[in-house]
């Protein structure tokens, strides 16, 4: 007998949540064959069997959170046949619990039913439609059986959400956060975007922050243990919204990148974030973080500092705003909104304000971003 243990996906992973078993007790398994799906702290991954044999006992069920190295199943090893026999792939059918129960009661094979739910999931209505088209008698269902599916969904606080909480908690509970907010005139930036092929607003913010950090090196620092580390390189983390939660991959040497290069890097982060492909390594080595909710219409917000950074910049929406000219005329200009949250243990208010003024000036004169 051999134990299948919870593997370590990355160096910082401490536990994983079992999402789904693809094999059941008594099934034959082959070495290298995927047997279950696990959610780690940063992504979801498939676990392969390290042995050939029979899955005799599942020790941890779907939904359970398991420490790395802890046994999750027992496999009875056998010698691999030579030549290896071809294993017919198991067809995975997605169907709601009610649909499965109804299909079983009516003697219908779900393999023959076309699903119309999300991702091709078979619903109760799909089974009823199949039965009606084929003249299968449908027994009367008592009102008590008409239960709304998935009224409540319970998910263990583990995996990515728990990792995000663990990573950001020091930025809230240990730091002394102070927020400064400024508006900037975005008219020149909008014209500059047209000429440059419309780089993203986040790219402009990252480049402005990068150049400001070079001018204000006292802000380009991190707190690691009992040491303040001042960085020469400018590596900026960028907040990325993903189906699994907030990720913050890092743009290395952001001050040396063009707006076009920054836009391509940030767009790639967003695309790979949607696919769950951002790695732990890509989210380390930063000394500052930029986050942007402007596309969602947010004007001001105060994000949590991303440890071990000393500060984070929040970019709000850019929108038209009326103003009064010196001649007494009312005109419109586009205004953007910046919020700098800094750790007052590490940075004082006046240097932080001067740093934010530099970012404002660069965004108001975007030609200075690419001399």
* ∠ CA 223-157-10, rounded to 5°: 55
Q: Which two tokens stand for residue 334?
A: 């586009």
Distance (Å, rounded) from C-alpha 273 to C-alpha 281? Answer: 14
Distance (Å, rounded) from C-alpha 337 to C-alpha 184? Answer: 6
Place of tokens 């303040």: 228
Q: What are 76's strand-pairing partners?
A: 54
Q: Which two tokens stand for residue 81?
A: 């046949």
Q: Which two tokens stand for residue 197?
A: 């092929």
Q: Where are the alpha helices (DSSP H) in the chain?
A: 97-106, 124-133, 159-173, 187-196, 201-215, 259-274, 349-364
Rounded to the nearest 5°, which phi and psi values hold at 340? -105, 120
194 Cβ contact list (under 8 Å, min separation 6): none
How long, in residues, is the chain? 371
Distance (Å, rounded) from C-alpha 304 to C-alpha 285? Answer: 18
Distance (Å, rounded) from C-alpha 33 to C-alpha 172? Answer: 43
253: number of Cβ within 10 Å: 11
Lay out the sheet containing 71-77: strands in order across: 2-5, 71-77, 53-58, 28-29
Told to judge if 192 belongs to the known catalytic residues of this protein, a careful annotator would answer no
- Peptide bond preceding 38 in cis form (omega within 30 of 0): no
DSSP, residue by residue, 61-90: -TT-EEETT-EEEEEEE-PPPSSPPPPPPP
Distance (Å, rounded) from C-alpha 208 to C-alpha 228? Answer: 24
Told to judge if 348 belongs to the known catalytic residues of this protein, a careful annotator would answer yes
List residues with catalytic annotation: 344, 348
């Amino acid at each position: 007998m051999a134990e299948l243990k919870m593997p370590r996906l990355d160096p910082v992973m401490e536990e994983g949540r079992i999402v789904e078993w693809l094999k059941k007790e008594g099934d034959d398994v082959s070495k290298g064959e995927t047997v279950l799906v696990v959610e780690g702290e940063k992504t979801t991954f498939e676990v392969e069997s390290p042995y050939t044999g029979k899955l005799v006992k599942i020790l941890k069920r779907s939904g359970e959170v398991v420490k790395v190295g802890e046994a999750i199943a027992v496999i009875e090893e056998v010698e691999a046949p030579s030549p290896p026999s071809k294993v017919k792939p198991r067809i995975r059918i997605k169907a709601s619990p009610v649909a499965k129960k109804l299909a079983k009661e009516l003697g219908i094979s779900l393999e023959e039913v076309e699903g119309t739910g999300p991702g091709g999931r078979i619903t109760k209505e799909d089974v009823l439609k199949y039965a009606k088209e084929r003249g299968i008698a449908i027994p009367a269902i008592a009102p008590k059986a008409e239960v709304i599916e998935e009224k409540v969904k319970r998910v263990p606080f583990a995996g990515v959400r728990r990792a995000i909480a663990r990573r950001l908690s020091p930025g809230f509970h240990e730091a002394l956060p102070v927020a400064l907010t400024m508006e900037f005139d975005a008219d020149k930036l909008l014209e500059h975007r047209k000429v440059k092929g419309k780089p993203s607003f986040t790219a402009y913010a990252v480049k402005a922050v990068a150049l400001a950090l070079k001018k204000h090196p006292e802000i380009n620092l991190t707190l690691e243990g009992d040491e303040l580390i001042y960085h020469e390189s400018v590596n900026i983390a960028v907040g990325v919204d993903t189906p699994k939660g907030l990720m913050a991959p890092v743009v290395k040497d952001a001050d040396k990148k063009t707006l076009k290069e920054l836009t391509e890097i940030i767009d790639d982060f967003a695309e790979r974030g949607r696919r769950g492909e951002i790695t732990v390594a890509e989210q380390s080595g930063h000394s500052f973080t930029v986050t942007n909710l402007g596309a969602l219409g947010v004007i001001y917000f105060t994000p949590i500092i991303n440890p071990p950074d000393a500060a984070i910049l929040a970019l709000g929406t850019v929108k038209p705003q009326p103003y009064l000219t010196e001649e007494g005329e009312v005109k419109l200009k586009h205004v953007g909104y910046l919020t700098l949250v800094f750790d007052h243990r590490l940075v004082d208010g006046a240097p932080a304000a001067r740093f934010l003024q530099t970012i404002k000036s660069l965004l108001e004169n975007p030609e200075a971003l690419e001399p």
